[in-house]
Amino acid sequence: MNLANSFRLDGREIPFQPGQTLMDAALAAGAYIPHLCHNPELAPHGSCRVCVVRVGGRLVSACTAPAAAGLEVASDTPDIQASRRAILQMLFVEGNHICPACEKTGACQLQAVAYYVGMLEPHFTHFFPRRDVDASHPDYVIDFNRCILCELCVRASRDLDGKHVFAISGRGIDSRLVIESPTGKLGDSAFAATDRAAHVCPVGAILPKRGAYSVPIGQRLYDREPISQVGDVAANEGRARS
């Protein structure tokens, strides 16, 4: 292998094309770096920090760091997994993620990444925020309790659908997903079930109505095999949508 266009991820040689990020190259080589806000169809966002890796003694997000020849990248180490676990724990306590009552359970990327990093408990004090459910659209429901602000729907609606249905409003802890419509309701927006934005949510926040339990619990995407083998929710659309 030509070392001029490869780097090493946990000791494994990963080839890359000029312009690729560490994440792009790892995904193309079939090497898993955990992530939530990344989707190869969309511009990298670098916001969830779950894909944190160590390069040359510094922690960077793999989805935004450009690949370069000869880099030594560490991903699956105890300290980096612990950092990821802490990020996951903060995401869990910040929203209302009641897995036993969620239609997405077993096919949820937040859950699957938490399994991957060995998260057994939330550690922090729960916020138990009061958030709404918007069921105004005929085909889709939005449960804001489960939104992790990854902005995949924002990017998909803007960049792939050309609609700008979603945006993030507020700052810091007040950040929240908002919908572009006269009432702020999804049913009054330009959102359609055929939008790409309807098929990129990694959690149970944007869900199709009806058929929620057509795939039984126990046979869902991540019930038998880890996300490192199965891949993302969006990449498996149609196979095991809950």
How would you classify the pairing of strands 140-143 and 206-208?
Answer: antiparallel
Residue 154 or 205 having the CB closest to other proteins: 205
- Euclidean distance between CA atoms 231 and 32, whole angstroms: 8
Task: Check binding of 120 to other proteins (CB under 8 A).
Answer: yes
Which of 164, 230, 168 shows the shortest CA–CA distance to 197? 164
In the complex with other proteins, the residue whose CB is nearer, 36 or 198, is 36
Regarding 144 and contact with other proteins (CB under 8 A), the answer is no
What are the structure tokens assigned to 111, written together? 């859950």
The SS3 of residue 115 is: helix
Of 219, 224, 235, 237, the one binding other proteins (CB under 8 A) is 224
114 touches other proteins by CB under 8 A: yes
Residue 143: how many other CB atoms lie within 10 Å: 21
Residue 1 as a binder of other proteins (CB under 8 A): the answer is: no
Q: Which one of 12, 126, 209, 239 is in contact with other proteins (CB under 8 A)? A: 126
Out of 56, 78, 100, 162, the residue judged to bind other proteins by CB under 8 A: 100
Q: Restricting to residues 193-212, name those near other proteins by CB under 8 A.
A: none
Q: Is 174 in the site for other proteins (CB under 8 A)?
A: no
Residue 115 within binding range of other proteins, rule CB under 8 A: yes
Q: What region does 115 belong to: left with phi over 0, alpha with psi -120 to 50, or beta?
A: alpha
